[in-house]
Chain A
Amino acid sequence: MQNRSGFIFGVTGILLLIFSIMLFTGCGKEEPPAAVKVGMLFPMSGALADKGKDSAAGVTLAVEEINAQGGIAALGGAKLELISGDTQGRPEAGEQETERLIKTGVAALIGTYQSSVTKPATQVAERLETPFIVSISIADVITERGFRYTFRIQPKARFYGRDQVRFLVDLGRLTGYVVKRVALLHENTDFGTAAALAQKQAMHEYGLELVAEISYAAEGVSDLSQEVAQCLAAKPDAILEVTYLNDSILIQKALVKAGAAIPLLDTAGGTVSPEYIQSLGALAEGTLTSAEFSKFTTGGKDLNGRFHKRFGVDITGDSAHAYQAAWVLKDALERAGSMDRKKLRAALAATDMPAGEHMILPAERLRFDAGGQNEFAQLFIVQIQNGEYIPVWPAEYAAGKVRLKP
Chain B
Amino acid sequence: MQKKNPNPGDAVPWQRSLAVQLSWTSILITVATIAAVGLGLIWIARSAQRNSAFLVQEKSSEAMAQLISDYVINAVASLQLLEHIKNLDRLPPAGQKEALESIIIQNPSLFSQLTFLDLSGTETVKVSRFHTFLPGELGNVAAEPAFRTAFAGRLYVSPVFVSPDSGLLSLRIALPVRRSRITGVLTAEVNALELWRKVMQIRIGQSGYAYLVDKDGRFVAYQELSTVLQRFGEDMRRIPPVAEFILGAAGDKRRPHQYRGLTNESVVGTYAPIAGTDWAVIVEWPVQEALAGVRRMQWYLIALGALGMLVAGGCGFWISRRLVRPMRALTVTVQQMAAGDLSAELAEEERPDEAGVLARAFRRMQAELRMLYGNLEQQVRELRRTQETLRQSEEEQRQNAARLMRFQATLLELTEHAYSDLETALKRITEAAARALPVERVSVWLFNSDRSAILCQDLYLLNENRHEKSGTLFSSRYPRYFKALENSRCIAADEAHMDPRTSELSMDYLEPFNIFSLLDVPIRLQGRIVGVLCHEKIRDLVRWTIHDQDFAIAIVNLISLALESAERRKLEAQLIQSQKMEAIGTLAGGLAHDFNNMLAGLTGPVSILKYNLAVNQTLQPKELSRMLDMMDEAGARAVAMVRQLLSLSRRHEITLTTVDLNQTLKSVMKICMNTLDKSIELAPKPCDKKAWVMGDSTQMEQVLLNLCINAGHAMTLMRAKDEKQGGRLSVAIQVLPGGSHFHVAHPEAAQGDYVQLSVQDTGVGMDAKTVARIFDPFFTTKEQGQGTGLGLAVAYNIVKQHLGFIDVYSEPGCGTTVNVYLPAYQGAATEAGRPDENRLPHGSGLILVVDDEEIVREVARTILEKCGYEVLLAHDGQEGVELFARRHQEIRAVVLDMVMPRKSGKDAFIEMQKIDPDLKVLLASGFRLDERVESVLSMGVKDFIQKPYSMRQLVESLHRLLSEP
Which A residues are within 8 Å of any B CB, using their own CB?
Answer: 119-120, 122-123, 126-129, 139-141, 144-149, 186, 188-190, 192-194, 196-197, 200-201, 204, 215-217
Distance (whole angstroms) from the CB of B748 to the closest CB of chain A: 75
**A residues in contact with B134, CB < 8 Å:** 188, 215-217
Indicate if the CB atoms of B225 and A147 lie closer than 8 Å.
yes
Query: Is B406 in contact with chain A by the CB < 8 A criterion?
Result: no
Indicate if the CB atoms of A141 and B168 lie closer than 8 Å.
yes
Question: In the bound complex, what is the Cα–Cα distance between A267 and B704 (angstroms)?
Answer: 160
Indicate if the CB atoms of B130 and A194 lie closer than 8 Å.
yes
Within 8 Å by CB of B229, from A119, A123, A216, lies: A123
Query: Is B317 in contact with chain A by the CB < 8 A criterion?
Result: no
Indicate if the CB atoms of B169 and A146 lie closer than 8 Å.
yes
Question: In the bound complex, what is the Cα–Cα distance between A29 and B753 (angstroms)?
Answer: 99
Indicate if the CB atoms of B101 and A119 lie closer than 8 Å.
no
Indicate if the CB atoms of A145 and B193 lie closer than 8 Å.
yes
Q: Which of B102-110, B600-608, B707-715, B824-832 lies on the face that meets chain A?
A: B102-110
Distance (whole angstroms) from the CB of A112 to the closest CB of chain B: 14
- How many A-B pairs fall under 8 Å by CB? 78
Question: In the bound complex, what is the Cα–Cα distance between A126 and B228 (angstroms)?
Answer: 10
Indicate if the CB atoms of B109 and A144 lie closer than 8 Å.
yes
From 593 to 626 in chain B, residues with beta carbon under 8 angstroms from any chain A beta carbon are none
Indicate if the CB atoms of A120 and B167 lie closer than 8 Å.
yes
**A residues in contact with B165, CB < 8 Å:** 119
Indicate if the CB atoms of B130 and A193 lie closer than 8 Å.
yes
Within 8 Å by CB of A204, from B105, B108, B197, B229, lies: B105
Distance (whole angstroms) from the CB of A129 to the closest CB of chain B: 5
Indicate if the CB atoms of B167 and A119 lie closer than 8 Å.
yes
Distance (whole angstroms) from the CB of B3 to the closest CB of chain A: 42
**A residues in contact with B112, CB < 8 Å:** 141
Question: In the bound complex, what is the Cα–Cα distance between A255 and B500 (angstroms)?
Answer: 172
**A residues in contact with B193, CB < 8 Å:** 144-146
Known: A127-B226, A193-B128, A197-B129. A146 touches B196 (CB 8 A): yes
Query: Is B393 in contact with chain A by the CB < 8 A criterion?
Result: no
Question: In the bound complex, what is the Cα–Cα distance between A148 and B130 (angstroms)?
Answer: 21
Query: Is B206 in contact with chain A by the CB < 8 A criterion?
Result: no
Distance (whole angstroms) from the CB of A326 to the closest CB of chain B: 24
Indicate if the CB atoms of B166 and A193 lie closer than 8 Å.
no
Query: Is B133 in contact with chain A by the CB < 8 A criterion?
Result: yes
Question: In the bound complex, what is the Cα–Cα distance between A196 and B98 (angstroms)?
Answer: 13
Given contacts A126-B226, A144-B108, A196-B132, list 10 more A-B pairs with CB under 8 A. A119-B165, A123-B162, A127-B230, A141-B167, A145-B168, A148-B225, A149-B226, A188-B133, A193-B128, A193-B131
**A residues in contact with B226, CB < 8 Å:** 126-129, 148-149
Contact with A along B193-207 (1 / 0, CB 8 A): 100110000000000
Known: A146-B169, A192-B132, A215-B134. A140 touches B108 (CB 8 A): yes
Question: In the bound complex, what is the Cα–Cα distance between A192 and B131 (angstroms)?
Answer: 8
**15 cross-chain CB contacts under 8 A:** A122-B167, A123-B229, A126-B167, A127-B230, A144-B168, A145-B166, A145-B167, A145-B169, A146-B169, A146-B193, A148-B224, A189-B131, A190-B130, A197-B129, A215-B132
Distance (whole angstroms) from the CB of B168 to the closest CB of chain A: 5
Indicate if the CB atoms of A126 and B229 lie closer than 8 Å.
yes
Q: Taking CB as reference atom, which chain A residue is nearest B196? A: A146
Question: In the bound complex, what is the Cα–Cα distance between A197 and B129 (angstroms)?
Answer: 7
Question: In the bound complex, what is the Cα–Cα distance between A201 and B105 (angstroms)?
Answer: 6
Interchain residue pairs A-B with the least CB separation, the first 4? A127-B229, A188-B132, A215-B132, A123-B167
Question: In the bound complex, what is the Cα–Cα distance between A146 and B195 (angstroms)?
Answer: 11
Known: A123-B167, A197-B105. A145 touches B225 (CB 8 A): yes
Distance (whole angstroms) from the CB of A191 to the closest CB of chain B: 10
Distance (whole angstroms) from the CB of A396 to the closest CB of chain B: 30
**B residues in contact with A144, CB < 8 Å:** 108-109, 168, 193
**A residues in contact with B109, CB < 8 Å:** 144
Question: In the bound complex, what is the Cα–Cα distance between A120 and B108 (angstroms)?
Answer: 20
**A residues in contact with B102, CB < 8 Å:** 204
**B residues in contact with A120, CB < 8 Å:** 167
From 143 to 188 in chain B, residues with beta carbon under 8 angstroms from any chain A beta carbon are 162, 165-169
**A residues in contact with B129, CB < 8 Å:** 140-141, 193-194, 197
Distance (whole angstroms) from the CB of B135 to the closest CB of chain A: 10
**B residues in contact with A204, CB < 8 Å:** 102, 105
Distance (whole angstroms) from the CB of A160 to the closest CB of chain B: 15
Distance (whole angstroms) from the CB of A322 to the closest CB of chain B: 23
From 483 to 509 in chain B, residues with beta carbon under 8 angstroms from any chain A beta carbon are none
Question: In the bound complex, what is the Cα–Cα distance between A119 and B163 (angstroms)?
Answer: 11
Known: A141-B112, A200-B101, A201-B105. A146 touches B225 (CB 8 A): yes
Indicate if the CB atoms of B105 and A141 lie closer than 8 Å.
no
Within 8 Å by CB of B166, from A119, A148, A188, lies: A119
Question: In the bound complex, what is the Cα–Cα distance between A200 and B100 (angstroms)?
Answer: 13
**B residues in contact with A123, CB < 8 Å:** 162, 167, 229
Indicate if the CB atoms of A186 and B132 lie closer than 8 Å.
yes
Q: Taking CB as reference atom, which chain A residue is nearest B192? A: A146
Distance (whole angstroms) from the CB of B348 to the closest CB of chain A: 56
Q: Taking CB as reference atom, which chain A residue is nearest B135? A: A215
**B residues in contact with A128, CB < 8 Å:** 226
Distance (whole angstroms) from the CB of A344 to the closest CB of chain B: 15
Question: In the bound complex, what is the Cα–Cα distance between A145 and B129 (angstroms)?
Answer: 13
Q: Taking CB as reference atom, which chain A residue is nearest B200? A: A146
From 101 to 139 in chain B, residues with beta carbon under 8 angstroms from any chain A beta carbon are 101-102, 104-105, 108-109, 112, 128-134
Q: Taking CB as reference atom, which chain B residue is nearest A187? A: B132
**B residues in contact with A201, CB < 8 Å:** 105
Distance (whole angstroms) from the CB of B534 to the closest CB of chain A: 70
**B residues in contact with A200, CB < 8 Å:** 101, 105
